[in-house]
Amino acid sequence: MNAVLDHQADGDGRVRVSLSELVALRGRVARLRMPPQDSRATRIGAQSSRLYGRGMDYAESRAYQPGDDVRRMDWRLTARSGRLHTKLFQEEREGQLLILLDHNPSMRFGTRTRFKCVQAARAAALAAWYAIKAGERIGLVAFGENQYLQRPRGGVRGALDVCGMLAKCDAVPSNQSQPLSQALQHVIKLQHGANRAFLISDGQSGDAPARDRLLEMMRHTAVRLLIVADVMELQAVPPGSYPIEHDGERRQLALHSLPQREAFQHSLGEGQVRLAAMAASLGIPYRIIDTAADPLEAVSALLHNGGRSR
């Protein structure tokens, strides 16, 4: 349902993603005091080490980035390619965060402050800036009728690429829904190297088979979930008559009795309740935020230590 009950909520960053806002969110993350953490993968049965070279297995080489230790330069690959490359070793392999963004039609809905899709994009951008600040590479998969892929990349350029992709996919709304299980099946084929996945959804696309797909992902990747909901999906609205728009047609929705209002809230919020229950059953840390909330605390809590399910 493409709808907005408050027709005044129209403007840049409210019903459409603002690229300038997503980029500006870098400043908010920059002011955070990052908790001590080592984003590099730890080998099973061994302590992670900051040392490199001796007794460590070579993992891969990647393009040189400012700040890399010159003692780890891959001179052979540099000579062959004509571009500077640096070596990574198993114990210091870079962390990699893959953002999974729900781009289904149900996300283009909102009654307070902004649409869910705009709030989700803001949360995704914050996650990108947070991951880059923590030294991780960042990638994005947006799923719905149209799918978008931004392959993992490190540094400020990686976060900027994600922000650009968020604005790009928002400009082409989905008209048909893609089940979460189908989207996850596609993601599983792409998640090689990603040690963390951050799913952002309103839960409306959640289906029963998604549970098995999430369980499969969790064998190799730490999954975190942020559920974005409208306030009408979280609580019954006050009595009244509400204008709604669906498929370009405006109508008045009368919600006066408590049973009417509770039934309406239940029908709208069923998806987020279902996805939250699925996450809880699998032990996936999750948070629920509404469209008027500041997503920074929820995003940083989930990406730091998984937060607490609530």
Cα separation, 171 vs 191, in Å, equals 26
How far from the centroid of its chain's Cα atoms is residue 278's Cα? 17
Give the other-Cβ count within 10 Å of 5's Cβ: 17
pLDDT of residue 60: 78
Contact between residue 253 and residue 193 where contact means Cβ atoms under 8 Å apart:
no
- Any idea what the Cα angle at residue 306 is, between residues 89 and 67, rounded to 5°? 35
Please report, for residues 187, 196, 230, 275, the alpha-carbon distance to residue 280 in angstroms, rounded to integers and kept in the order given: 21, 18, 21, 9
pLDDT of residue 307: 45
H or E segment and range at residue 79: helix 75-81
Give the other-Cβ count within 10 Å of 122's Cβ: 25
Please name which of 246, 228, 117, 113 lies closest in space to residue 169, comparing C-alpha atoms. 117
168 CB burial (10 A radius; 0-12, 13-18, 19+): middle
Give the other-Cβ count within 10 Å of 269's Cβ: 21
How far from the centroid of its chain's Cα atoms is residue 77's Cα? 34
Residues 6+ apart with CB under 8 A from 129: 25, 26, 28, 29, 30, 159
**Per-run averaged pLDDT (10 residues), the chain, 310 residues:** 39 86 96 64 37 52 80 89 82 78 94 94 98 93 93 93 95 92 90 86 96 93 96 86 75 85 82 95 96 96 66
pLDDT of residue 11: 37
Please name which of 18, 140, 54, 41 lies closest in space to residue 95, comparing C-alpha atoms. 41
**241, β-bridge pairs:** 254
Give the other-Cβ count within 10 Å of 266's Cβ: 12
pLDDT of residue 89: 67
pLDDT of residue 247: 65
Cα separation, 165 vs 205, in Å, equals 21
- First and final C-alpha spacing in the chain: 26
Pair type for strands 148-153 and 196-201: unpaired
Residues 6+ apart with CB under 8 A from 87: 58, 60, 61, 72, 73, 74
